[in-house]
Structure formats: structure tokens, C-alpha cells
Amino acid sequence: MSKDYYKILGVEKNATQDELKKAFKKLAMQHHPDRPGGDEKKFKEINEAFQVLGDAEKRKKFDQFGSDFEQQGGWGGAGGSWEDVMNAFRQQQGGGQGGFSFNFGGADFSDLFGGFGDIFGSASARHGRASARQGRDIQVDIEIDFKEAAFGVEKELSLRKQSKCDVCGGTGGEPGSKIETCGTCRGQGQVTQVQRTFLGAMQTVVSCSACNGRGKKSTKTCKHCGGDGILAKTFSINIKIPAGIDDGQSIRLSGHGEAAPHGGQSGDLYVQAHVKHQKVFHREGSDVYTDNEINFTQAVLGDKIEVETIDGVIKVVVPEGTESGQLIRLRGHGIQHLGHSGRGDHYVRVKIRVPRRVSRGAKKLLEELKSEL
């Protein structure tokens, strides 16, 4: 079925080359698969339309034969599948510095995209450099009890992870060996690659694999780690769990993750806390709740009762006429606010205990009280 490339780009048949470029740029930014809400199929269709209309000779044949003009001995194209283009994009994003440029029908796509290059060009390259040079993050789980979460605690963890080689210090070179400029990239740490796609020739700048993007390399490889600069090792680390941490929350230890090969930056260690269930205490934010029973006489006349808090047992005044379910607030006896000073409160939820059986004497007194009330 013949396609209307003018309709796909949203332009008139007499549109100028500048108008075609503006229309293509707008639609490409909108539908690029690497953007939120992008549409891979639509993006490919837009590129196909501009590939034809952006070339004077192909546009002339399209106007004469329609989109099936290739069957009339037409355009032959730049070649390359969609997968080739996406792989090239990802390859550019995964390493090396700088951006990229296209050449299609004499048109420079770096000019065509303009600021859009920041989206999947130079910005992606910066992200690629960071991820390529950083070790893997690690997450571990640790179990603590209620009071340890309230006041903080120090725990020792045993981890096995990729760490810097003790012999070469993570460089990957044999100690004492000469460091020389990389002959492949000539000290730049990156090389240029050209790939043919249906967009034409796409040029990408990637990290040099010979020196791993450093621009220099040792004349001899470290025998201990094989040149990677990292080895799997088991070690212990003391973790300080901050006061006030809640169940499921994590703390981050920068640089304590796995080491990156060839002297790159280490990843981070994330420690997720799991607080053991506690029957006595119930937590809501920085406040603590407990249920405490009193008898009917204590509720009516008032009394002093002992209440267990995270600070220990303290005596609490129950006022006269206390009702079941009423809360008594103990200011400052809750949990430390995470990350800043001050503590929450402790709330005593009063429950009036009603005896199932009473003696004859007690029953008589209750009957008299019933009449009195």
C-alpha cells in the first residue's frame, strides 16, 4: 500500500527543504523511542518519509510514482535495519566522550537535530562514561530489633565482592612496568566508529577498548588480577544504623560497592533494614503506642500504673474518669526523628478490663454502685 510521506511529516507537497527539516525535527523529538512516550514504529516511519523527501532526486521519483517508486528502479536506500540504528545509539551511549553526527543525502543531522543532541547525544555519552567507569552497586539486608531501630546500632557485615587488586592497586598493570600512551587512540581515550544505517552513515565516538578509555596503558599486565584491576574478596565492614530508621528503609555507603575494572570508580553499598516484629510496641512514624489494661475502679477513681516504654518502665498517672480507648501522651518518649534532633511521643492506649466472674460480695457492691450511678 502506497504511503503519503507528505502526510506523515505533516507538510504540503510544495514544502521547502527547510520546512521538511523543521517538521522532521519536531516529530523525531516527539516520537524518539528513548524519550518517555516515544513510538519506535512511528519514529521509523518518520525517518523513512524524510529519507525520501529530504533528497531531491528521490522526492521527484516519489511525486511521480508514489512510495512504491523503489519498485520502479527507485531509491535503494542507505541500508541498515532499525536494530542497527538502535544498537548504534546504545553503543554510543555506552562509552566514550563526545556526541554523534549523521550524513544523509548531503544533510548533516547534527545540524538538523540541534539541541535534540543533548537528549540522546552528548548527555547520553556523559551517562555512558559514568556507567562504564563505575562498579556495580550492592544491596544487602540486615535484621534489627525494635529498640535498635529506635536508638541506632552498629553491626558488622561480611561481604564478598569485586575489590581493587592489592598488587596493582586497581590499575591492571604489573607494578614497576612502564606506562605508555595508547597507540590505538593516541592518548585520547576514545575512537570514532562509522556505521551504515537506513539514516545513512552514522558516526559515533566510543571508549577505546585497548586502554579502556584511559589513554594510557601499562606495558605489562598484572599477573595477579590478569589486567582487570579487580578480584573477588571477602571482607568485613562495620555498619552504623542511624537512630530512627524504619522497616524497609535503606542507608547508602558511597564507594563501598563493587570496584570497577581498570581503576574506575567503585559502586555504592545499600543496606536495607528489616525491623523484627514487636508485640509490646507499635510504631507510627516517630510515635510509639502501647495498650495497657486497668480495672473499672482505676478508671473511675484514677491511679498510677507502670508502663513499659523504650526507655524502660515508668509510672503513669491515670486520671479520674478515664474511658476505654483513651490515649495518655508521654511526651518525648518516642523514637528519634531520623536525620535530625528530637523524639516522637509515647501514647498509652487505656483498655478497661471487665472481669467475667465476681464474688457475691463484689456483686453486691456493684449493685449498690449501679443504683448510686
Predicted TM-score (pTM) of this structure: 0.56
The DSSP letter of residue 71 is G
As given in the structure block, the three cell numbers for residue 226 are: 590478569
Q: Please give the pLDDT value at position 120.
A: 42
Reduce the DSSP state of residue 248 to 3 states and report it.
coil
The DSSP bridge partners found for residue 312 are 309
**Which residue, 292, 295, 299, is CA-closest to 346?**
292
Gyration radius of the chain's alpha carbons: 36
For residue 180, give the H/E element and its range: strand 179-181
- CA–CA–CA angle 292, 296, 300 (5° rounding): 100
Cβ atoms of residues 342 and 333 within 8 Å? no
For residue 290, give the H/E element and its range: strand 287-295
Reduce the DSSP state of residue 85 to 3 states and report it.
helix
Q: Please give the pLDDT value at position 1.
A: 56
Cβ atoms of residues 117 and 98 within 8 Å? no
Report the b/e string of 182-192 with b at 16+ CB within 10 A.
Answer: beebeebbbbe
* Residue ranges, the chain, pLDDT below 70: 1-2, 34, 36, 67-133, 197-201
Q: Which domains does the chain have, with CATH numbers?
A: 5-132 (1.10.287.110), 135-174+226-276 (2.60.260.20), 282-372 (2.60.260.20)
CA 109 to CA 129: how far, in whole Å? 23
**Which residue, 98, 114, 92, 119, is CA-closest to 31?**
119
Cβ atoms of residues 247 and 112 within 8 Å? no
Report the b/e string of 323-355 with b at 16+ CB within 10 A.
Answer: eeeeebebeebbbbeeeeeebbbbbbebebeee
Cβ atoms of residues 360 and 368 within 8 Å? no
CA 264 to CA 130: how far, in whole Å? 9
Q: Please give the pLDDT value at position 212.
A: 80
**Phi (first) and psi of residue 4, to 5 degrees:** -100, 95
